[in-house]
Amino acid sequence: MSYYRHHLFFCTNSRDDGKQCCANADAEAMRAYAKEQCRERGIHGPDGVRVNIAGCLGRCSEGPVVVVYPEGTWYTYIDQEDIDDIIEGHLVGGVPVERLKLDP
């Protein structure tokens, strides 16, 4: 068994050239929110979920993005409700959130 059951990687990349980036969608605040929510649900930490910061994940035009490993499920999100759905549906319930999934 892995040390963590899931890793959430939030792209927090920022671009200076005016092109779309996850940082412009407040990705760092959304990552912090996800971490807080995982802690509140008691699933953060060893044998649970690790919420990570990632640099550019290369999907800027589809962003903001978060990817869940080990499954390799890619999501986009707009607000905290979307993050809650990913946590409850995928991380707690084990069912990917179809409405937020990106093609691999």
Between CA 68 and CA 9 the distance in angstroms is 7
Neighbours of 29 (CB within 10 A): 11
Predicted confidence (pLDDT) per residue in 57-91, tens digit = 999 889 899 999 999 999 999 999 999 999 999 99
Predicted confidence (pLDDT) per residue in 11-28, tens digit = 999 888 878 889 999 999
Predicted confidence (pLDDT) per residue in 33-59, tens digit = 999 999 999 999 999 999 999 989 999
pLDDT of the residue at 1: 63
- What domains can be seen in the chain, in order of their start residue? 6-100 (3.40.30.10)
pLDDT of the residue at 9: 98
Nearest to 49 by CA among 95, 87, 4: 4
Peptide bond into 96 cis (omega under 30): no
Using DSSP's 3-state secondary structure scheme, residue 10 falls into: strand
- Both tokens of 44, joined, read 């953060």
